[in-house]
Amino acid sequence: MLFIGLRFSLASLILLPFAIKHFNSFDRSSVISGTILGVLLFFGFATQTVGLNYTTATKSGFITGSLVVMIPILQLIVIKKKPNKGAVIGVILVFIGILFLSSGGASIQTFLNDLGANFNKGEVYTLICAFVFALHVVYLDIFTKRNSILVLLFFQIFVTAVLAFASAIVFSFTQVEAVQFDATYYLIFGILYTGIFATLITTALQTKYQKEVTPTKAGIIYSFEPIFAAIIAFFALSEKITNFGLIGCALIFSGLIVSEIYESIFQKNGR
């Protein structure tokens, strides 16, 4: 929780000089919307981080990736909008791709058996994380179409930082989490990298441009994260991409292509 608080505080401080110029124009709707997004963002990061203490990164990646299936369901419930057939087919392909990518060198059956047999509180926390992140994608689509992008960006990052620090204090007093200030090179680099690139820049891009696509397509695009992770791990850590991993990457890529071209092809053919 302390790490989450530090990375989001850094992002807030960098953004503050740009946001402070517009404080007088902050309206109630934008502030409330940004706060709601911040609460969702915090609970998504918090449950994922806590879950990683009790489960493996592979299982966490797969369960978090299941948000791609949750998004069209939540989109239908929250905004009463049914995703088109191309998006649904794309979601199915992407989900199967994530399954292949997450299974590593093991067979799909072995991976599923291991996931089912050892479904502990870590997986439960991560499943909650996937649901919250899916909800964040849907509500971001709603709020960005009627509120100031800068206000939404600042408040969701600031609220996440505040809630993370509050949780760190509570957890340290209750001895759930031992708070340690270890000013090592890796910790400083981690805070700088995640605060600037993985928090400020990515959240800014997501908040500004997600409204250009549907929530379901956004979920499919976000599913490219494990592909990029596998590629970077290959070059930076010399980790091998298994045959299952390559199949998974191909399926995820195919899901994105299908979701983009399906509708235009069938509209062109008059179907």
Residue 97 vs residue 183, higher pLDDT: 97
Q: Which residues of 50-79 are buried (b: 16+ CB within 10 A; e: fewer)?
A: bbbeebeebbbbbbbbbbbbbbbebbeeee
Q: What is the mean pLDDT of the chain?
A: 85
Confirm whether pTM is higher than 0.75. Answer: yes
Please check the confidence at residue 175 and state whether its pLDDT lies above 70. no
Mind giving me the DSSP string for 65-91?
HTHHHHHHHHHHHHS--PPPHHHHHHH
Residues of the chain with pLDDT > 70, as a percent, come to 89
Specify the range with the lowest mean pLDDT, choosing from 13-17, 38-42, 62-66, 126-130: 62-66
Please check the confidence at residue 223 and state whether its pLDDT lies above 80. yes
Residue 211 vs residue 172, higher pLDDT: 211
Residue 203 vs residue 266, higher pLDDT: 203
Residue 22 vs residue 139, higher pLDDT: 139
Identify the domain containing residue 200 by its residue range: 2-268
pLDDT value, residue 160? 97
Please check the confidence at residue 52 and state whether its pLDDT lies above 90. no
Q: Which residues of 133-149 are buried (b: 16+ CB within 10 A; e: fewer)?
A: bbbbbbbbbbbbeebbe
How many domains does the chain contain in total?
Answer: 1
